[in-house]
Amino acid sequence: MGNHKKLLQFLRPADTAVAAARSSDDDDDGGAPSSVPPSPMSSWSGRTSSAAASPSPYVMSPWVNLPGFGVGGGGGGDEVVAGGGGTGLLGSLVKEDGHVYSLAAAGELLYTGTDSKNVRVWRHRREFAGFRSGSGLVKAIVVAGDGRIYTGHQDGKVRVWRASADDPAVHRRVGSLPGLGDVLRSAVRPSRYVETRRRHSALWLRHFDAVSCLSLDAAAGLLYSGSWDKTFKVWRVSDSRCLESVRAHDDAVNTVAAAGFDALVFTGSADGAVKVWRREPGKGGATRHAMERVLRKGESAVTAIAVAAEARVVYVGSSDGAVTHWQWRRGGAGVAGPPRNGGALRGHRMAVLCLAVAGRVVVSGSADRTISVWRREEGADHARLAVLAGHTGPVKCVAMDEEDDTAGDKRWVVYSGSLDGSVKVWRVSSTPDAAAARTPAHGWKATPSPLGAWTPYAATPARKRMAAA
């Protein structure tokens, strides 16, 4: 497999498998406060500032060997290209925490995760609070409607946090997935082990490699976690129980996304495939996910998936710099029609690393250090609203939130986290200027897709699954 398929795996540890009966780390199931006090240093800046933690594996990353991608290298100006109508940079959030791998926006709060194991909480673009895990850099963050915060880590664990009712600036860890009790109960049963690699075995309900992505299906009460161990797992939010583990791909799972319609879940992998899974009810409240189709096959690794649930449009980012999109048609009698391929949005010179969707606006972050902003028009047509440039390292994560108190023109706040150690805050207008790039409108065959028609590929016959008894 070529190096381009390993795009998101350059930080893979040599071996993260652990003994199943061993207790989770010292921060698991203890419930102790894990707050990080705000630093007296300035956290709000109109310019970006590069920061690197000394133990970071970033120094061994292939990015540092590319022109301008070293710490503090090249492209240092904050600028907006091809934007209009109020689009621009609002500022930068800078912290000496290392490289930003994940972020999540929830109301007036922004959560950012780094390779220093810290999660910072920002409010009104000022540092508000923070908390720290005992191990594992923070690769994914999801915030639930009830205030629980789920973080996915390099050590293969998902940790659960909640702000104190007495002091919202204090966060406590309230659990981990899987819980220590479930691990101990399963450890004594040989049937609960699965083979991993090189004659090693691990409990089926634990990820034995980094948790690379999280997705919450609030309506179904389920949390999905994807991992470099090639599986995705299904967790019931109400009791933190692992309901199912699916061996989904032949290589690392880089992204997972609950569709929000038709009980579908999408997974994307370094093996170049996007698979569509349909959730079916099981016995005793369990779930069963069956693969419905392979949506995409290609040489380029799949790095990000985002879903516009109301429009039933799915966007897929890949290491070739393209964002390919499909729409699911509404079928009669509640039966969904087959997906239609809308072509590809091409706004990047290097790999797409992250995607976010809100309303009709789509945002993609790339290894070329830029952020492309698109608006979905009629059919498969998309207008490019802006190209945001200012980061000095690859853009690893993006999030969006609608801006309040906008008269007439709908505007969005876009947050972008980068391996340059900063989070930038942008305002984006939903109205493109006259020079905005536009993909030609030809229904849902707008831009010829490099992947061919939407017709599904043959399903893989073998499907490995473990579910709770």
Residue 454 DSSP class? S
Question: Mean pLDDT over all residues of the chain?
Answer: 76
pLDDT of residue 456: 35
pLDDT of residue 107: 86
The CA distance from 26 to 180, in Å, is 11
Mean pLDDT of 385-393: 93
The CA distance from 464 to 469, in Å, is 16
pLDDT of residue 268: 97
Which residues of 297-440 form beta strands (DSSP E)? 302-308, 313-318, 322-328, 339-346, 352-358, 361-366, 370-376, 382-389, 395-402, 411-418, 422-429
Range of the domain at 30: 3-454
pLDDT of residue 406: 57
- For residue 172, pLDDT beyond 90: yes
Q: Rounded to 10 degrees, what is the CA torsion of 382, 383, 384, 386? A: -140
pLDDT in tens, 427-450: 988 775 544 445 443 344 433 333
Mean pLDDT of 197-202: 66
pLDDT in tens, 23-42: 344 455 545 455 665 544 33
**Residue 464 resides in a domain:** no
Mean pLDDT of 45-56: 37
**Residue 463 resides in a domain:** no
pLDDT in tens, 237-252: 998 999 999 999 999 9
pTM beyond 0.85, yes or no:
no
- Of 33-42, 79-88, 344-353, 387-396, the range with the lowest mean pLDDT is 33-42
Could you tell me the pLDDT band of residue 211, with boundaries at 50, 70 and 90? very high
Domain tally for the chain?
Answer: 1
The CA distance from 147 to 444, in Å, is 39
**Residue 467 resides in a domain:** no
**Residue 466 resides in a domain:** no
Of 123, 105, 196, 198, nearest to 156 (Cα)? 196
pLDDT in tens, 328-348: 987 655 556 789 999 999 999
CATH of the domain at 383: 2.130.10.10
**Residue 465 resides in a domain:** no
**Residue 468 resides in a domain:** no
Of 333, 341, 339, 235, nearest to 289 (Cα)? 235
